[in-house]
Structure 1
Amino acid sequence: MIKVLVVDNHPIVTTGFQLLFQEHEDIKVIGTVATGVAIFEFVRRHDVDIIISEIELPELNGITALRAIKKEHNHINIIMFSYHPEEIYAISSIKAGASGYVSKFEPVDVIIKAIKTAHDGDIYLSEKMSKHLKYNDTKNSKARIYKRLSTREVEVLKLLSSGKKNKEIAQELDINEKTVSTYKARLFKKLNVTNLIDLVNQGKQLEIS
């Protein structure tokens, strides 16, 4: 039996997972939590095989939590399950140590396939995403732009695009403000912009898909 922890701050999502796997012969949801911080306490108390986590979480975002969990519990495989565009965030998630990325727009059988794939030690990506990565020579593609960015740079860009200030970003990512400024400078250079407004607009445009 594959033991799954679901991390999402929307009750309809966590309840949906519990109902979906209530009588499944291979997969069991052994718990749900609503914040990134709550994951750590749960995995210390319970034997978890797979974590399915949203990226947008209170207190600690999913990718930051992913990195920390993999350091402490490398045997746990983590699937990011989010509404964010997969051509942008799938790459960042896999770089951070995820075993897969599933869009919330996918049908139920996809998440089941992803869980089994991750449990077998492989990485799950949609067929579309796999093909997208193979053809990364396409000029001006979003994936090509984002592949030039580190996982942390993507996180900083995302938080800047949501309107957060340097201090807020530093607190959320557990880094100092000077480091945030360094990442911003790198983003200016890599995205070829000269001011914060253009940087934020670039981030929002790239996220539209």
Structure 2
Amino acid sequence: MIKVLVVDNHPIVTTGFELLFKNHGDIHVIGTVGSGVEIFEFVRNNDVDVIVSEIELPELNGITALRAIKKEHNNINIIMFSYHPEEIYAISSIKAGASGYVSKFESTDVITLAINTAHKGDIYLSEKMSKHLKYNDTKQSKSRIYKRLSTREVEVLKLLSSGKKNKEIAQELNINEKTVSTYKARLFKKLNVTNLIDLVNQGKHMDLT
């Protein structure tokens, strides 16, 4: 039996998971929590195999929580489950240690497949995303540049591209503004640009934004 923790601050989502797997033969939802902070206490007190977590969470960003959980509980496989575009967040999630990314627009069969895949120790990505990654792998210049970017730098680049200011990015990623400025400076250097417009254009060129 695969023991699953669902993390989402929308009751309709957590209730939906509980109902979906209520009588499932292999998957059992052993608990639900509504914030990133609550995950830590739950996994310390319960035996969890797979966590299915939203990215946008109160108190603590889902990807930030992912990194911290993997440090303490590397045996737990985590699937990010969100409405955010997978072209952006799937890459960041996998680099941060996730075992998969599932869009909330997918069918219930897909989340079931993702949970089973993650529990086996494999990584689940949609067919579209897998092809997207393989396509980009053939573009050597993009690949080399992307590999030089840390997960945090990719996240900051995405948030900058969405129009968010340093303060908003700091709150989103649970870091201070000075650290955001540091990441931005690194992005300017690594992507060889001198202004924000060119930085965003470079991100789009790499299909990261």
TM-score (norm 2): 0.84
Unaligned runs of 5+ in 1: none
Alpha-carbon distance in 1 for matches of 2:147, 2:105: 23
The one-letter amino acid of 2:136's match is N
2:36 maps to which residue?
Answer: 36
Matches within 5 A, 1:1-209: 1-136=1-136, 149-161=149-161, 164-189=164-189, 194-196=194-196
CA distance in 2, matches of 1:202, 1:58: 31
- Change in Cα spacing, 1:88 to 1:163, as seen in structure 2 (3 Å) is closer
Amino acid in the other structure paired with 2:59: E
Q: 3-state SS of the aligned residue for 1:135?
A: helix
CA distance in 1, matches of 2:93, 2:30: 23
Q: How many Å separate the matches in 1 of 2:102 and 2:122?
A: 14
Q: What's the secondary structure of 1:22's corresponding residue? A: coil
Shift of residue 22, structure 1, vs aligned partner: 0.8
Q: Does the CA contact (< 8 Å) of 1:59 and 1:172 recur in 2?
A: no
Alpha carbons of structure 1 residues 88 and 145: separation in structure 2 relative to 1, 3 Å:
farther
Equivalent-residue separation in structure 1 for 2:105 and 2:145 (angstroms): 23
Q: Structure 1 stretch 91-100 or stretch 143-152: which is displaced more?
A: 143-152
Instruction: Give the conservation status (yes or no) of the 8 Å contact 1:88–1:146.
Output: no
> 1:151-172 deviations in whole A, cap 9, x for unaligned?
1012223444555443443354
Question: Displacement, 1:57?
Answer: 1.1
Q: CA deviation at 1:191?
A: 5.6
Shift of 1:143: 9.0
Deviates more, 1:146-155 or 1:51-60: 146-155
The number of equivalent residue pairs is 208
- Displacement of 1:138 in angstroms is 6.4
Aligned-residue offset at 1:186: 2.8
Q: Are the counterparts in 2 of residues 4 and 30 from structure 1 also a CA contact under 8 Å? A: yes
Does the 8 Å CA contact 2:157/2:203 hold for their aligned counterparts? yes
Unaligned runs of 5+ in 2: none
- C-alpha distance in structure 2 between counterparts of 1:137 and 1:22, whole Å: 40
**How far apart are 1:176 and its partner, in Å?**
3.6
CA displacement 1:68-111 (0-9 Å, x = unmatched): 00001111100011111212211111110001111111111111
Q: CA deviation at 1:27?
A: 0.5
RMSD, matched Cα: 2.9
Question: How far is 1:123 from its partner?
Answer: 0.9
- The question of whether the paired residues in 2 share the 8 Å contact of 1:136 and 1:144 is answered with no
The 8 Å contact of residues 66 and 78 in structure 2, kept in 1 or not, is answered as yes
C-alpha deviation, 1:59, in angstroms: 1.1
SS at match of 1:75: coil
Q: Distance in 1 between matches of 2:67 and 2:29?
A: 22
Moved more, 196-205 or 39-48: 196-205
Residue aligned with 1:136, SS: helix
